[in-house]
Amino acid sequence: MIKGILITICMELLLPLTAGACFAVPSKSDPDHKALFLARAYTSGQIFLFALFQPVFVFAILKNMTFSGAARIYLPLAIILSLAMAAVSFARNRSAYAKVLNGKAGKISFWGIASILAILFMIVMSFFMTYYDGDDSYYVAAAAQTETSDLMYMTEPYTGMAILSPYRYLFAPFPMWITLLAKCSGVKAVVMAHVLFPWSMILLSFSVMLIIAERIFEADYRKRDIFMFFASVLVLFGDYSIQTPENFLLARSRQGKAALASFVLPFLFSLILSAFREYDRNKKISARYPVLILFTSVAASLCSTMGGMLCAAFVCASMVCMMIAYRKIKVPVLMMLSSMPGLVFIAMYLVMR
């Protein structure tokens, strides 16, 4: 179990941080404290890994490849690309990274300490409290089935019979991500889904909240900490229905739609908010925003078949607001186009179902 935890930490913490370092290079107007840099690197890196996972595994499933065959393509690709992007970014932005590494850790108030304790409590309890949801009968069972058979979406998890029309699920193969973590760490897929995976989704979700709080309150760290504290309280006490976002985060985090609602869509909101702020100050935006929006649209498709459509609708509505506010066309259109790749998987589903 200890070995499994350590490998899971490498897969769900160290690898995303490495992959996302190139997207977290602070601009001149960004706060330079370490907490924000780590939050941006961690969330951006996980979005990149999700976005890379989606086309590789959808292609592998459509070609009837085994799970191990798809994993042998994805893992080296993910590791090599993550290390290469980090190395190139460090070589080109040494001064920016040095500023962060030598900078302050970030001010924190009583409210910030309270929010950290609340988040740590959620993470610790995610190891000891498990919750069964009806949808686990498909999603967790699909991961466990793939783990034992090495076949993807060939049999119905409910019955064990051959699947006649798997297209509703195969274009959003989030259970295969759980299986990949389980295979790499050496633990059972059910244990991974219920015990070892939830902490990463909790940490990712609150990292996005920190990014949003920094953008809203900027240098006012006390307001940022109050925001984080009340966000943690709402999550802790929001499980009054199986339909709430809080329930999805704490009780159903191994399901793709939980990742979409708790992490991917809030991350997309943070990108749009950051792009608006940067454009308002500099009349231009960094290239990382359209690139990350592209990755986010594909990552959303991994979580849910409709995820790509939600991302495209969200971005297009926001960019219409930018057109009206700034009377500019080029940047909003570029952002809209970058949100479209996720629609490819919906189109494939509509054609093949």
Segment 84-103 mean pLDDT: 79
pLDDT higher than 70, residue 29 = no
The pLDDT assigned to 349 comes to 85
Give me the chain's average pLDDT, please: 87
Q: What percent of the chain has pLDDT over 90?
A: 41
User: What is the rounded distance in angstroms from the CA atom of residue 80 to the CA atom of residue 83?
Assistant: 5
Q: For residue 132, what is the enclosing H or E element? A: none
User: What is the rounded distance in angstroms from the CA atom of residue 38 to the CA atom of residue 23?
Assistant: 11
CB atoms within 10 A of CB 25: 20
The pLDDT assigned to 104 comes to 64
Region of poorest pLDDT, from 105-109, 120-124, 222-226: 105-109
Segment 138-164 mean pLDDT: 83
Categorize the per-residue pLDDT at 27 as very low, low, confident or very high, splitting at 50, 70 and 90.
low
- Top-confidence range, 4-13, 163-172, 223-232: 223-232
Segment 244-252 mean pLDDT: 80
pLDDT higher than 70, residue 276 = yes
Segment 26-54 mean pLDDT: 84
In terms of pLDDT, which residue wins out, 97 or 149?
149
Token look-up 């601009």 returns: 27
* Domain ranges, ordered by start, for the chain: 2-352
What angle do the packed helices 221-236 and 110-128 form, to 10 degrees? 30
Asked if residue 316 lies in contact with residue 338, where contact means CB atoms within 8 angstroms, the answer is no
Q: What is the pLDDT of residues 126-145, one digit of tens each?
A: 888 777 777 778 888 889 88
Which residue in 145, 155, 154, 203 sits closest to 179, CA to CA?
145
Judged by phi (left if over 0) then psi (alpha if -120 to 50, else beta), residue 133 lies in beta
pLDDT higher than 80, residue 161 = no
Asked if residue 31 lies in contact with residue 219, where contact means CB atoms within 8 angstroms, the answer is yes
- Polymer length in residues for the chain: 353
In terms of pLDDT, which residue wins out, 195 or 208?
208
Asked if residue 322 lies in contact with residue 328, where contact means CB atoms within 8 angstroms, the answer is yes
What angle do the packed helices 34-62 and 198-217 form, to 10 degrees? 130
pLDDT higher than 80, residue 158 = no
Token look-up 């951006």 returns: 44
User: What is the rounded distance in angstroms from the CA atom of residue 6 to the CA atom of residue 229?
Assistant: 29
User: 3-state DSSP: the chain helix, strand, coil percent, rounded to 5?
Assistant: 75, 0, 25
pTM of the model: 0.93
Segment 216-228 mean pLDDT: 87
Segment 319-347 mean pLDDT: 89
The pLDDT assigned to 92 comes to 81
Categorize the per-residue pLDDT at 30 as very low, low, confident or very high, splitting at 50, 70 and 90.
low
